[in-house]
């Protein structure tokens, strides 16, 4: 690859009305905004904080966390606000490598996927943790020193990428399938997986990997999802049961242009934050069954009933935090997000804090 990527239906067959729902203003009489309670995931007193990248149906989260006695962040699984479990690496006799892990996905069985550092040679391998115990997936990408798993469904199918080789892959029951490139392209990266095994990501459209398009892989076939007008870059991160995909798209440029959060549906790409600005980037990271979308930009936000709202406006005013990114949402509407304290006093000026946002009934 000349550059490294940043972090399904065939959608053209979806009803036109479904696409219009994301482009139109909210219908008259639509419900008001949902408000949320705030729960910190883990301790607020640790220097580096926590960052949740995935959530399952029970509200359990996985991501990066800080633990006492550790010099940095390591992969974690949280099955409750105070129940953070550190997920170990593959090399237990080296204090540094034993905690050099990252978690990016979790399913309803609390099986977590991510990556762990190894040495001889120094590399990062894709890992699955079952019951807190790591297993190297041994993805067959010879020479690739940066292999990671990014998502797992409830059937145990795992999606991931080799960042050096530029290959997206799907793993199931010990077998790895390398996912195809787009015609003319030479690189791809996976960002997520649906519950029926469709993989979301990005694939280059030419030999120059700065030009790439959001794609979904289904049954071994790669399907492009489109760009915003005037751009040559887009990427897909998630898709719900209705086949509505979300991600990001460049605004008037290639891989290095600013990006806006977008929705892909019915062959149409819709900008969810048109006034984000030309120098600020944002991404839609997750969508649930009801079509509620969350992401980042100048702030963490939620998109519901045709309206994008900063999450700071939907939490109690005395919460004392600023929500910087919303990473994942489950079908119950719970959101895994990252926040900063408005008046932090920790050694790091702006540490990250993992929070769980739960909709207020009524």
pLDDT of 20 strictly over 60: no
3-state secondary structure 114-182: EEEEECCCCEEEEEEEECCEEEECCCCCCCCCEEEEEEECCCCCEEEEECCCCEEEEEECCEEEECCCC
Residues 6 or more apart whose CB falls under 8 angstroms from that of 132 comprise 77, 85, 87, 88
Q: How many Cα atoms within 13 Å fall on the side-chain side of residue 45? A: 3
pLDDT of 11 strictly over 60: no
The predicted-structure confidence for 182-225, as pLDDT tens digits, reads as follows: 999 999 999 999 999 999 999 999 988 788 999 999 988 999 99
E strand map for 195-341: 199-204, 212-218, 221-226, 234-239, 245-250, 259-265, 268-271, 283-287, 293-296, 301-304, 307-310, 321-329, 335-341
pLDDT value, residue 338: 96
User: What's the whole-number average pLDDT of the chain?
Assistant: 88
Q: How many Cα atoms within 13 Å fall on the side-chain side of residue 214? A: 35
pLDDT of 29 strictly over 90: no
**Is 129 or 278 the better-scoring residue by pLDDT?**
129
Among 26-30, 65-69, 179-183, 256-260, the least confident range: 26-30
The predicted-structure confidence for 88-117, as pLDDT tens digits, reads as follows: 999 988 888 888 999 999 999 999 999 999
Which value, in Å, is the radius of gyration of the alpha carbons in the chain? 19
Confidence of residue 48 (pLDDT cuts 50, 70, 90): low
The predicted-structure confidence for 227-252, as pLDDT tens digits, reads as follows: 999 889 999 999 999 999 999 999 98
pLDDT of 4 strictly over 80: no
| C-beta of residue 352 within 8 angstroms of C-beta of residue 51 | yes
pLDDT value, residue 19: 46
Alpha helices, DSSP H, located in the chain: 16-23
pLDDT of 17 strictly over 50: no
What integer is the mean pLDDT of 46-65? 90
Q: Is 299 helix (H, G, I), strand (E, B) or coil?
A: coil
Confidence of residue 71 (pLDDT cuts 50, 70, 90): low
The predicted-structure confidence for 159-177, as pLDDT tens digits, reads as follows: 999 999 999 999 999 999 9
* C-alpha–C-alpha distance, residues 268 and 252, integer Å: 17
């Amino acid at each position: 690859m000349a550059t490294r990527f940043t972090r399904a239906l065939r959608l053209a067959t979806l009803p036109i009305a479904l696409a219009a729902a994301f482009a139109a203003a909210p219908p008259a009489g639509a419900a008001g905004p949902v408000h949320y309670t705030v729960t910190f995931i883990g301790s607020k007193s640790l220097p580096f904080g926590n960052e949740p990248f995935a959530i399952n149906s029970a509200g359990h989260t996985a991501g990066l966390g800080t633990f006492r006695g550790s010099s940095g962040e390591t992969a974690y699984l949280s099955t409750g606000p105070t129940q953070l479990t550190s997920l170990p690496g593959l090399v237990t006799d080296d204090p540094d490598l034993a905690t050099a892990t990252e978690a990016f996905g979790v399913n309803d069985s609390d099986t977590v996927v991510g990556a762990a550092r190894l040495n001889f040679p120094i590399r990062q391998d894709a890992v699955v943790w079952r019951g807190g115990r790591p297993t190297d997936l041994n993805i067959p990408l010879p020479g690739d020193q940066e292999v990671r798993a990014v998502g797992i469904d409830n059937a145990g199918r795992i999606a991931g990428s080799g960042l050096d080789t530029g290959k997206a892959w799907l793993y199931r029951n010990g077998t790895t399938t390398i996912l195809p490139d787009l015609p003319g392209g030479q690189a791809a990266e996976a960002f997520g997986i649906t519950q029926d095994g469709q993989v979301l990501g990005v694939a280059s459209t030419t030999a120059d990997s700065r030009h790439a398009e959001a794609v979904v892989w289904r049954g071994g076939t790669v399907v492009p999802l489109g760009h915003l007008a005037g751009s040559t870059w887009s990427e897909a991160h998630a898709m719900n049961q209705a086949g509505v995909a979300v991600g990001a798209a460049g605004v008037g440029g290639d891989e290095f242009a600013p990006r806006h959060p977008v929705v892909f549906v019915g062959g149409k790409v819709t900008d969810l934050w048109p006034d984000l600005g030309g120098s600020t980037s944002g991404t839609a990271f997750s969508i649930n069954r009801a079509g509620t979308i969350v992401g980042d930009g100048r702030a963490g936000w939620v998109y519901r009933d045709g309206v994008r709202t900063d999450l700071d406006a939907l939490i109690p005013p005395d919460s004392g935090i600023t929500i910087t990114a919303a990473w994942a949402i489950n079908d119950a509407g719970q959101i895994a997000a990252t926040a900063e304290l408005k008046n932090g006093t920790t050694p790091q000026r702006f540490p990250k804090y993992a929070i769980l946002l739960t909709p207020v009934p009524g």
